[in-house]
Structure 1
Amino acid sequence: MDVVALIGRILFVVLFLGSGFAHLTQTEAMSGYAASKGVPAAKLATQITGVMMIIGAVMILLGVWSDLGALLLVVFLIPTAVLMHAFWKETDAQAKQMEMIQFQKDLALGGAALLLFALYAKLGDDLGLTITGPLFK
């Protein structure tokens, strides 16, 4: 099961690594989009969330305080769902559907990250091929 847990961690973090690097390498475009959604200090928020995603993903990937890494992703995902994908504000049916999909994706990933947080905090080293145990117990 250790290898299965490692493969799951790898598959889970791919999205966050790619998105985190995009936040840092395409900051102007991404912060412009965030600003259009009403995010305050959009450029700084884009950079901070990029760093949060990369750090959280690397922590989960390597198994270094994976519980903290998962918590960083939760702290990113839930506000992002609400601030960036407010489907209830859309009037166009197609835009509303796209935002609802993104909102639900962020909530689902946030739920998965919260579950990882709880599992690593409870099971620690027993959850497969980690460098350190959990930070929280």
Structure 2
Amino acid sequence: MDVVLLAGRILFSALFLFSAIGHLAQADAMAGYAKSKGVPFAKPATIASGIALAVGGLSVLLGVYGEIGAALLFLFLVPTAIIMHNFWAETDPAAKMNTQISFNKDIALAGATLALVWVFAQDPGLTVTSALL
């Protein structure tokens, strides 16, 4: 089962690592979107979130204090869902639906990160470090 968990970690982490690349490589465009959503200091926030995504994604992928990396991703996902995907503020039905899908995805992923915190705390095998928590 260790191999199954490792495969899941690889697939899960890929989302965050590719997103980190987008945040860092396209910081200006992403900061413009963040600014339109009312994020203060949009460009530094975009870069910081890209770094958090990279660190959290690599931590989960490699099993280096994976529970800390998963918790970091949780701390990214919940505020992002609320601030960036506030579907309740949308008036256009299509925009509202698309924004709600993104909100739901982030909340579901946040739930998965909490499950990974627990998994890493149980000494799941195929990790570089043991759990800190």
Rounded Cα–Cα distance in structure 1 between residues aligned with 2:69 and 2:28: 26
- Percentage identity across aligned positions? 53
Structure 2 gap ranges (5+) = none
Q: Which amino acid aligns with 1:40?
A: P
Rounded Cα–Cα distance in structure 2 between residues aligned with 1:84 and 1:92: 16
- Work out whether 1:2 is the aligned partner of 2:5: no
Aligned residue among 114, 128, 131 for 2:128: 131
User: TM-score under structure 2 normalisation?
Assistant: 0.98
Q: Which amino acid aligns with 1:59?
A: S
Q: How does 1:79-90 map to 2 (within 5 A)?
A: 79-90=79-90
**Which consecutive aligned stretches of 4+ in structure 1 deviate over 2 angstroms post-superposition?**
none
CA RMSD of aligned residues (A): 0.6
2:53 alignment counterpart: 53
The alpha carbon displacement at 1:129 in A equals 0.4
Q: Which amino acid aligns with 1:35?
A: K
2:11 alignment counterpart: 11
Structure 1 gap ranges (5+) = none
- Deviations along 1:29-66, one digit per CA (max 9) or x if unpaired, are 00000000111111111000000000001011111000
- Deviations along 1:75-111, one digit per CA (max 9) or x if unpaired, are 0000000000000000000000000000000000011
Rounded Cα–Cα distance in structure 2 between residues aligned with 1:119 and 1:7: 14
1:24 alignment counterpart: 24
Rounded Cα–Cα distance in structure 2 between residues aligned with 1:31 and 1:60: 26
Q: Does the residue aligned with 1:44 lie in a helix, a strand or coil?
A: helix
User: TM-score under structure 1 normalisation?
Assistant: 0.95
Q: Which amino acid aligns with 1:45?
A: A
Q: Which amino acid aligns with 2:88?
A: W
2:120 alignment counterpart: 120
Q: Does the residue aligned with 1:40 lie in a helix, a strand or coil?
A: coil
The alpha carbon displacement at 1:128 in A equals 2.6
Aligned length in residues: 133
Q: Which amino acid aligns with 1:10?
A: I
Q: Which amino acid aligns with 2:73?
A: L
